Amino acid sequence: MMDMEIKKTVWIVICSTCLLGACDQSTSTNGEEQEADKKEKVIDLTAVKNRLDYFLDYPVDSTAFPRSMEPDGTVRGVPSKDWTSGFYVGSLLYAYQLFDNEALKKQALNWLPYLAKEKLNGGTHDMGFKVYCSYGNAYKLTADEDYKKVIIESSETLATRFNGRVGAIKSWDFGKDRWDFPVIIDNMMNLELLYEASKLSGNERYAAIASSHANVTLKNHFRPNHSSYHVIDYDPQSGEVQNKLTHQGHDVESVWSRGQAWGLYGFTMVYRYTNDLAHLQQAEEIADFIFQQTMLPEDMIPYWDMLAPDLANQPRDASAAAVTASALIELSQYSENGDQYRQYANAILKSLTNEPYVLNDEVEVPFILAHSTGNMPKNDEIDLPISYADYYLLEALVRLNDLD
């Protein structure tokens, strides 16, 4: 394995009763107890680090961005137009920040140019996933003006999907037999691209579109208990809600776990830009809903749908857990309940960085986490490694390290 050191600390400390790095060990009576207490409260990144050789060994191929592992152990590679294409580059960049290995950054920047054409792909809402997770992170690290241009051009393209009558960005062009103007909870994740493009360009239109979309989603996507519908179908002429549907949950009124995570992350991020307390409150209510579920497993890694039948025998979704952890770390900085949200995030990350969630070293694929669930209704990518789980795990660890 490569010789790498974690950039800031060898261990990321995790405290169950206090903020990271400020643990009160006054209850320990001797050195042995203190050492045992310390070991109990750490996130060991050794297993994560050991997976990164496979990221470096995977050959650069413009047509085969690693998306997931197939059941036979091979890698499912996808072209740049796939909604997941940006996660691999973003994962490499986050891994570079954690482990300070230039080879990881170089590998990311080798892949990056093959995503550039997506800035003109107006047939999808997934511009944030593809462009911001890759070019957005690359720009933060390099301040490269060419990367900035891609971010702005991508936002201009995404803005073409905005309907002023609805006040939201259309998610999909397919499924015209099922909906007219579908908006999915996942679409909240694209708003960061728009807000950042406003800051970089001075064009406030992008931020206005993002805030409008967030407010329409806040109004229509959530049940009284603060769980989320997956799909809201609008009348594109009147802007009225026509139907509430699901595409990836068990049924319309069930609770698709990754959808809850998208909403939590999205409204936390939107609050960062708007300082609108309604957005902060929505994020808090989503978080509270998630952790009030009596069937949430002890290790904090949710089943793919929180209300699926025979729940104890359903597959988990590590990707939902990773998105949730990353969101909670940010939310903890804004909320009066921050200590509690930080503890939830720490517990999730401690589970995700250990067995059985980190892939065994012998599994030779460019992924870190096992046990994610992609699309259960289509029986696709079930209980397997998926790229976006790795991305949000690494983002959460970077955020945690940066806080401390």
pTM value? 0.92
Which residue is catalytic, options 186, 305, 317, 390?
186
Helix (H, G, I), strand (E, B) or coil at 117: helix
Q: Where in 72-221 does DSSP place strands (E)?
A: 75-78, 162-163, 168-169, 181-184
Give catalytic status of residue 186 as yes or no: yes
Is the model more confident about 377 or about 32? 377
71-82 per-position pLDDT tens digit: 999 999 999 999
Contact indicator for 213, 191 with CB cutoff of 8 Å: yes
Distance CA 136, CA 193 (A): 8
Give catalytic status of residue 339 as yes or no: no
Mean pLDDT value of segment 364-391:
98
103-148 per-position pLDDT tens digit: 999 999 999 999 999 999 999 999 999 999 999 999 999 999 999 9
Residues 6+ apart with CB under 8 A from 136: 151, 192, 193, 196
Q: Which of the four pLDDT bands, split at 50, 70 and 90, describes residue 404?
A: confident
366-378 per-position pLDDT tens digit: 999 999 999 999 9
Residue 51: both structure tokens together:
């997976």
User: Sign of torsion, CA 146 151 156 161?
Assistant: positive
Which residue is catalytic, options 3, 57, 126, 339?
126
Instruction: Work out the mean pLDDT of the chain and round it to a whole number.
Output: 92
CA atoms within 13 A on the CB side of 8: 14
With 0-12 / 13-18 / 19 or more C-beta atoms within 10 angstroms meaning exposed / middle / buried, residue 163 is: middle
For residue 20, pLDDT beyond 90: no
Domain boundaries, the chain: 11-403
Nearest to 322 by CA among 350, 298, 295: 350
For residue 41, pLDDT beyond 60: no
278-332 per-position pLDDT tens digit: 999 999 999 999 999 999 999 999 999 999 999 999 999 999 999 999 999 999 9
In what helix (H) or strand (E) does residue 68 lie, and over which residues does it extend? strand 65-69
In this structure, which CATH number among 1.10.287.110, 1.20.1070.10, 3.30.200.20, 1.50.10.10 belongs to the domain 11-403?
A: 1.50.10.10
43-80 per-position pLDDT tens digit: 999 999 999 999 999 999 999 999 999 999 999 999 99
Q: Please report the pLDDT score of residue 42 as a whole number.
A: 80
Distance CA 178, CA 325 (A): 33
